[in-house]
Structure 1
Amino acid sequence: MYEVLAITGYKPHEIGIFNEKHEQLPYLKKAISKKIQQLKEEFDIKWIITSGQPGVELWAAEAAINLKEHYPDLKVATLAPFHEQEERFSEPVKKLYLNVWNSSDYRDFITKRPYDNPAQLRMKNQFIVGKSHAALVLFDEETDGTPKFFLSYALKKHENQDYPIIYLTPDDIEEMIREDISDQSWN
C-alpha cells in the first residue's frame, strides 16, 4: 500500500500550453484525473501531495480535489516551496492556485520565507520525495523539462527502497484522448 502519492510534471510552457483555453488542456486534465483515480484504486492512496506549481501539479491537485466527491477519504496536501509563490503567476494561474490552496486538507511552506534562492526548489523536491510513498510524473525522456529535478531525488529513493515511480507520458495522454473521442463518437 502506497498511501502518499507525490505528483509532478511539466510546467505549461514546457508542453506548449500558454493559456487556460488551450484546446488540449481539457483532455490533459481528464487524463491526469483518470490516472489518479486508477492509482487511488490500485494502491489505496490516501494523500496526494504537490507543491502547487503551475501546470501538472496544479491540474493534478484540482483533479484530486474534484475526486474527493467519489473518494471521501482522499486528501490533498499543498506544500509550497516558499511563501508567496503565487505572486509570480498570471491571474488565471493565481486563481487556480488559491482555489487549490484553500481547498487543500493540509497546506504549508517548505521554507518559511519568500523566494530568495534556487536551493528552495531543490529542498522542495527532496522534501516531497521524502514525505511520499510513490510518485506520478508526467514526463517524457525525449522532452527535457523541470520534472527531471524531482526525478533525480525520486530515482535515488527508488534505488534504495520500495518507491514506485509511475510515468504518465504524452503517448499515454494521446491514447486517452483517442479513447475519449472514440467513446464520444459511439454515443
Structure 2
Amino acid sequence: MIKRLVITGYKQHELGVFDEKHPGILYIKKALKNELVPLLDDGLEWVIISGQLGVETWAAELVIELKSTYPQLQYAIITPFLEQDLKWKDTNKEKYQTICQKADFQTSVTKRPYEGPWQMMEKNKFVIRNSDGLLIVYDEENEGSPKFMKKLAAQYAERHDYHIISISADDLQMIAEEEQQNQWPDA
C-alpha cells in the first residue's frame, strides 16, 4: 500500500509550457488524477513534492482540489535548499508562495541556500527513503531533469518495496485525444 507518494516530472520549460493556459497542463493534471484517485481510495495519505515549477506545482494544485473530496489527503513540500524561488519571475514566485501556504508540511533538506547540484541529489535520496512510491511524468525518449529521480527510485526499488508509476508521452497523448473527442463527440 502506498501511504506516502512522491510526485515529480518535467519542469515547465522542459515541456515548452510558458503560459498557465497551455492545454498540456490540463492533460497532465488529468493523467495525475487518474493515477491518484485509485491510490487515495486505497489509503494514500501524503503527496510529497519539491515545489519545482511544472509537473510538481500542477500536482500541488490538483492535490488542493482533491482535498475537498479526500480530506485525509495532505501534501508536503520538501525543497533541496532554502529560497529556491529566489531568482524566479514574480508570477512564478506568487504561484509557489500560494502552494507553500496551503501545504500541510514544508521543509528544506539541506537547510541552507543553493550551493550546488549535490543538494538536489540529497533531496531525491531523502524523499525516496521517506516514501512508498514515486509517480513520475517522464518519457524515456525525451530525457530531462526527472531522469535522475527515476534512476535513483529504480535502484531503491531493487532492494525495497517501492512502487514506481510512470506517465509517458503516449499516456498524455491518449488523454489529449479523449479530451478532444469529448469536446467534439460527433467529429
TM-score (ref. length: structure 2): 0.93
Q: Which residue of 2 aligns with 1:24?
A: 24
Query: How far has the Cα of 1:31 moved from its partner?
Result: 2.5
3-state SS of paired residue (1:173): helix
- Sequence identity (%): 40
Tell me the CA shift for residue 78 of structure 1.
0.5
2: distance between equivalents of 1:97 and 1:33? Answer: 20
For structure 1, list consecutive stretches of 5 or more residues without a partner in the other structure.
none
Deviations 1:52-75, CA, capped at 9 Å, x for gaps = 011111111111111000100001
> Any residues of structure 2 matched to 1:135-150 within 5 Å, and which?
135-150=134-149
Report the secondary structure of 2:86's partner residue: helix
- Root-mean-square deviation (CA, aligned residues, Å) is 1.6
Report if aligned partners of 2:47, 2:75 keep a CA contact under 8 Å in 1.
yes
Output the TM-score relative to the length of structure 1.
Answer: 0.93
| Match of residue 89 from structure 1 | 88
- The number of equivalent residue pairs is 186
CA contact (8 A) 2:25 2:58 kept: no
> CA–CA distance in 1 between the matches of 2:86 and 2:121?
20
> Which runs of no fewer than 5 residues in structure 2 stay unpaired?
none
* Aligned partner letter, 1:92: T
CA distance in 2, matches of 1:143, 1:54: 18
Q: Report the Cα offset of residue 186 of structure 1.
A: 4.2
2-structure distance, mates of 1:92, 1:39: 32
* Partner residue, 2:38: 38
8 Å Cα contact 1:10-1:56 kept in structure 2: yes
What's the CA shift for 1:116?
1.2
Matched AA of 1:81: P
Check whether the contact 1:50–1:79 (CA below 8 A) recurs between aligned residues: yes
Q: Which moved more, 1:131-140 or 1:150-159?
A: 150-159
Residue 156 of structure 1 corresponds to which residue in structure 2? Answer: 155
The residue identity in structure 1 corresponding to 2:2 is Y
